[in-house]
Amino acid sequence: MTSRAAIGFWVTGALATAAATYGVVRLAARDRGDPTRCEPGLVAMRARCCAPGQTTLHGKCVGKPASCPIGMHRALTGTGCVGNARRVDFSGGLMTLGSEDWQAEGIVTPRAVQVAAFGIDALEVTVERWTHCVRAGMCRELSEPEPGLPVSLVDPKEAERFCRFEKGRLPTGDEWLFAATGTDDRRYPWGATGLVCRRAAFGAVEGPCAHGGGADLVGTHPDGATPEGVFDLAGNLAEWTLEPNGGYLARGGSYRSTSALELKSWAAEVSPPRSRHVGFRCAYDPPAKAATLR
């Protein structure tokens, strides 16, 4: 073979190999999605993160899990994995807002506020946890079949009723912000940088993290937890908070969010009373001891 022919053969082979590799990568990306979306112990299945042994049907994780990740248990009723509900206590302190993030300019009024001690759920309220209130006759039954997903389509008054059932209440806006920002005005609940798919459930409808998806199982983004161990304060579901004027805001962005602005610690929106992308967690007056809840 002449050197010219050899070069042509090598170039042709290299192009064919590159094309094949590109095709494989595209197919893998389409079928598997972003492999960093799901924490160890869960499997990426198109737009969902499901337990080993499960599959997806109409966007739901179905079937009996072979195992559940650390910090989760098999559902008490139904099938799936459910985050272990627990509380995180804060001793309170001086919270400053709007001083460390240039994108907050014009959106957040810079201020410093003293926040008293409080406790807050480490996880968003799950469907499984809500069912205890249903059985007590204090909450209405929901149609959501997955026990490990966060409760949505409940208005603030319903959320307050559930929290009273749990000996708590809705967090105030300042309490929720303190849990998300700490005393150092964190841009995101986990820190200053690093908005990626493994840290928060966002961009799940039309990308960048998934397509045609929705909320993730509660508590499955440990890389996005606060230093104190509060999960999903950015993304998954926005969360109801009680504001000083007696109204309610939905804070923290959701799985629908696509921009960093929607997921910053200070992000908030006025939402219709019952929204698919809005859920909640409860707060507790001191002394709130860290405990495992139902």
Would the pLDDT of 26 be above 50?
Answer: no
Residue type, 292: T
Q: Does residue 25 sit in the same domain as residue 110? A: no
Q: Is residue 60 part of a domain?
A: no
For the cut 60, the answer to whether the pLDDT of residue 286 exceeds it is yes
**pLDDT tens-digit readout, 149-162:** 999 999 999 999 99
Pairing of strands 118-121, 238-242: unpaired
Q: What pLDDT was estimated at residue 288?
A: 46
Per-residue confidence (pLDDT) for residue 33, from 0 to 100: 39
Asked if 6 and 150 sit in the same domain, the reply is no
Residues 11 and 107 in one domain: no
Structural domain span for residue 144: 87-284
Mean pLDDT of all residues in 192-217? 92
Residue 105's pLDDT is: 67
Assess whether 6 and 140 both reside in one domain. no
Average pLDDT of the residues of the chain: 85
Claim to verify: residue 135 and residue 221 sit in the same structural domain: yes
The total domain count for the chain is: 2
Provide the percentage of residues in the chain whose pLDDT is more than 70.
82
Residue 209's nearest CA partner among 201, 219, 220, 217 is 201
Confidence of residue 244 (pLDDT cuts 50, 70, 90): very high
Whether pLDDT at 25 is above 50: no
Percent of the chain with pLDDT over 90: 68
Let me know if residue 19 belongs to a domain: yes
CA distances in angstroms from 203 to 86, 114, 136, 253, listed in the order given: 27, 34, 36, 10
CA distance 202 to 213: 10
Q: Is the pLDDT of residue 219 over 70?
A: yes
pLDDT exceeds 90 at position 208: yes
pLDDT above 60 (res 5): no
Summarize the confidence of residues 108-118 as an average pLDDT: 88
Tell me: do 92 and 24 sit in the same domain. Answer: no
Between CA 41 and CA 68 the distance in angstroms is 6
Same domain? 17 vs 149: no
Does residue 104 have a pLDDT over 80?
A: no
pLDDT at residue 184, as a whole number? 86
**DSSP element (H, E) containing 158:** helix 156-165
pTM of the predicted model, to two decimals?
0.84
Phi and psi angles of residue 123, each rounded to the nearest 5 degrees, phi first = -125, 155
* 15/106 same-domain check: no
Report pLDDT for 144: 80
Is 59 inside a domain boundary?
A: no
Q: What is the CATH number of the domain that holds 266?
A: 3.90.1580.10
**pLDDT for res 130:** 97
Burial class (CB in 10 A: 0-12, 13-18, 19+), 276: middle
Residue 65 domain flag: no
Tokens of 114: 């003293």
Q: Are residues 127 and 243 in the same domain?
A: yes
**DSSP class of residue 263?**
G
Question: Smallest Cα–Cα separation from 233: which of 191, 195, 189?
Answer: 189
Residue 74 pLDDT > 80: yes
- Is 202's pLDDT higher than 80? yes
Q: Do 17 and 128 fall into the same domain? A: no
Is residue 199 a part of any domain in this protein? Answer: yes
Evaluate whether residue 66 is within a structural domain: no
Distances (CA, A) of 233 to 58, 76, 225, 264, 275: 27, 25, 8, 9, 17
Is residue 123 one of the residues assigned to a domain?
A: yes
DSSP conformation class of 86: B
**Pairing between β-strand 81-83 and β-strand 72-74 as defined by DSSP bridges:** antiparallel
- 225 to 198, 228, 229: CA distances (angstroms): 11, 8, 6
Structure confidence at residue 290 (pLDDT): 44
- Same domain (yes/no): 121, 259: yes
Give yes or no: residues 102 and 16 share one domain: no
Report the distance separating Cα 97 and Cα 130, nearest Å. Answer: 33
Whole-number Å distance between alpha carbons of 284 and 88: 10
Q: Could you tell me if residue 106 is inside a domain?
A: yes
**pLDDT > 70? residue 213:** yes
- pLDDT of residue 52 exceeding 90, the answer is yes
